[in-house]
Structure 1
Amino acid sequence: MARSDLVRILQAAVPDTVRITRRRIEDVRPLRDEADLLLGADGTHSLVRRSGWPGAAARSHGVTVLRGTADIDPPEVAETWGGGWLVGITPLAGATRTGTAPAGTNWFACLPEHRTPSVAEDLAHLRDVVGGRRAPIETLLDAIRPETTLVHGIHTVPAIAPVRQNVALLGDAAHAMAPNLGHGANTALEDADALAAALRERSSIPAALRDYALRRAAVDQAWRLGSAVMLQMAMMQSRAGLRDRALRRIASLGPL
């Protein structure tokens, strides 16, 4: 599902009784004092987390991600691991071929940290690193353009408890993770479901928050750690050959 579609579905489900205000927040402590329950669902660089969990600032994985779309049919659907880089190619969510018009391709790449003043230079560096490796990647490199490309890093949050006093963290605010297991958005939705269930089932907010932490803390941290391990495996440089031989050996054993 395209994330834009998911956001529209969630926004449409908000009851009319919910009061929505929008303003810039510099300090969440007054909000915490005024509220029965404060939820921090404000992302990787969460102000709520930084206001109540000292030393829990997001940390960089030391890699650069380039991702975007291309106006071509996907030359393949795969993720290629190299020596210190990876490239993924998938169909563009919700897109279908119409006549001779291509369906569209979603792509992403990960490299050791490297930034330049312009996206065009970043793409030139990507071509230097992964060019000439495989034909589908070459097809993709010929089609990608700076205007449809984003460049950013990957940050994670250290292991923390998702509840402190009357404050609960959800999603990336509680457990920002590498994207390599494809489960970051899923865990955010599961957090919300678990917290809603705990608030319905328990007679008090403190009891509900304890229940929420018990349901989600270990699960979310397992996904966070697993995603970090997968990123490290995918981005191996000096031991990439050993990794590839091990994976071929595992594949030769057949379906598990």
Structure 2
Amino acid sequence: MGNTAVVVGGGIGGLAAAIGLHRIGWQVTVLERSLTSQDAGAGISLAANGLRALDELGVGEAVRRASRGQYSGGTRTPRGRWLMRMDGAALEKAVGTPIMGIPRATLHRLLREALPDGALTTGSKASAVTQDGPQTVRVDYDTTSLHADLVIAADGIASTVRAQLFPHHPGPVYSGSTVLRAITEQPVHVHSDFELTWGPGAEFGHIAFPDGRAEWHAVLRCPAGTRPADPLAALSRRFGTWHHPIPALLQATRPEAVLHHDVHELRTPLPAYRVGRIALLGDAAHAMPPNLGQGACQALEDAVTLAATLATEPTIDTALARYDAERRPRSQAVADAARQAGRMGHHLSHPLAVMLRNTALRLTPSRAATRMILRHHAWTPPPLN
């Protein structure tokens, strides 16, 4: 079996894949088109499955030290009434760890630091990936080319590699929601580690960090491409009367720090996660709405599973076939569950539907809520050593 790989895309999934391959003895080059992370101003929640994947990659402890455990919080109404409370201690008892909140920029830095020197090339966009015979793949980028035994497409939801491999696939579609988010400039007093608030056609949430700052996000139902002239002012008008700490989070944010992205997804599942010696990973393979907080965790699962199959299977082809067989059913099931969760959340706007949803949540026992979470969090990574 050969041992050279090119990873197209230096996001969470691509960096994790490169670390995994490096740990099993492969030579890896990561091509990232951006010079800096485009979502550095955002935060992320990592569930047990993602943290276990990071443990297997050797960076889990560093990530935990930079994170804040989510023990308290839950889901509320705009007036502050609790619909469902989070029991982080029960979740930790069940799976060994609470959900952890961390700035994306910090997670990216820790992953980059785990790579060997010279493995990551920024400002380099792959223009074409070609199977050059049965055992070699060529990646064209900038004005040069690389040849490798394996190429991993981790180039995100707008993946150019996926479009080349599956030209008849409809590709990503707009989910109907747009998200604005930022990290506060200074610490904000919040009463819980993590919260979601569901109002008619809108959601507001926050993730608290160890230094007292917090990431917040606002999700709105609106046509794609809708952009207010002053996003922070528009959010203050929309959410200014919602419960504490929502107004305080907005007030602690610099206007230029607000990120705004329409949420797209791969609503039509891919028929395969590999073509020849090219494997798809993360959002390039199964971009999903963020309603379960599983997008990055599924990419981390992909990365560890891919490295494990390459370490144990006799050939690259059999390894990729096993990777596809293991990852496609699970990740596509999680993506479908994320869509369903969105339909029960900010997608609802009719007063009767909102009332019925709220009543159902209030009547759901905490143990039942924990069991629902465990369906996605209780994943054990294959060993790399």
* TM bin (shorter chain): 0.7 to 0.9
| 2:334 maps to 1:223 | yes
Q: CA deviation at 1:69?
A: 1.8
Q: Gapped runs of 5+ residues in structure 1? A: 96-102
* Equivalent residue runs for 1:172-251 within 5 Å: 172-235=283-346, 236-238=348-350, 239-250=353-364
CA distance in 2, matches of 1:226, 1:74: 33
CA distance in 2, matches of 1:4, 1:142: 22
Q: CA deviation at 1:90?
A: 2.3
CA distance in 1, matches of 2:106, 2:239: 32
Q: CA RMSD, aligned part only? A: 2.3
Return closer, same or farther for 1:215/1:135 CA change in 2, 3 Å cut-off: same
- 2:165 counterpart (30, 47, 52): 52
State the secondary structure of the residue aligned to 1:42.
coil
The residue aligned with 2:150 is: 37
Return closer, same or farther for 1:254/1:215 CA change in 2, 3 Å cut-off: closer
CA distance in 1, matches of 2:121, 2:131: 18
Q: Which has the higher strand share?
A: 2
Give the aligned residue type for 1:147: E
The residue aligned with 1:106 is: 215
The residue aligned with 2:205 is: 88
In the TM superposition, what whole-angstrom CA distance separates every residue of 1:13-55 from its partner, at most 9, and x where no partner exists?
A: 3235858586333222367455432210111111111110122
Give the aligned residue type for 2:207: T
CA distance in 2, matches of 1:39, 1:51: 13
1:29–1:51 contact (8 Å) kept in structure 2 = no
| 2:273 maps to 1:159 | no
2:155–2:283 contact (8 Å) kept in structure 1 = yes
Return closer, same or farther for 1:203/1:222 CA change in 2, 3 Å cut-off: same
The residue aligned with 2:46 is: none
TM-score (norm 1): 0.85
Q: Which has the higher helix share?
A: 1
Q: Gapped runs of 5+ residues in structure 2? A: 1-101, 139-146, 369-385
Q: Aligned pairs, how many?
A: 244
- 1:75 counterpart (177, 190, 199): 190
2:131–2:276 contact (8 Å) kept in structure 1 = no
TM-score (norm 2): 0.58
Give the aligned residue type for 1:60: Y
1:85–1:110 contact (8 Å) kept in structure 2 = yes
CA distance in 1, matches of 2:253, 2:121: 39
CA distance in 2, matches of 1:247, 1:29: 50
Q: CA deviation at 1:175?
A: 0.8
Give the aligned residue type for 2:177: V
CA distance in 1, matches of 2:220, 2:228: 17
Return closer, same or farther for 1:195/1:151 CA change in 2, 3 Å cut-off: same
2:131–2:277 contact (8 Å) kept in structure 1 = no
CA distance in 2, matches of 1:20, 1:72: 34
Return closer, same or farther for 1:67/1:215 CA change in 2, 3 Å cut-off: same
CA distance in 1, matches of 2:311, 2:244: 54
CA distance in 1, matches of 2:249, 2:116: 43
Return closer, same or farther for 1:149/1:76 CA change in 2, 3 Å cut-off: farther
Q: CA deviation at 1:211?
A: 0.6
Q: CA deviation at 1:165?
A: 2.1
State the secondary structure of the residue aligned to 2:245.
helix
Q: CA deviation at 1:234?
A: 1.0
2:188–2:248 contact (8 Å) kept in structure 1 = no
2:228–2:234 contact (8 Å) kept in structure 1 = no
- Deviation >4 Å, runs of 4+: 16-22
- 2:178 counterpart (46, 64, 87): 64
The residue aligned with 1:138 is: 247
1:74–1:90 contact (8 Å) kept in structure 2 = no
Give the aligned residue type for 2:171: A
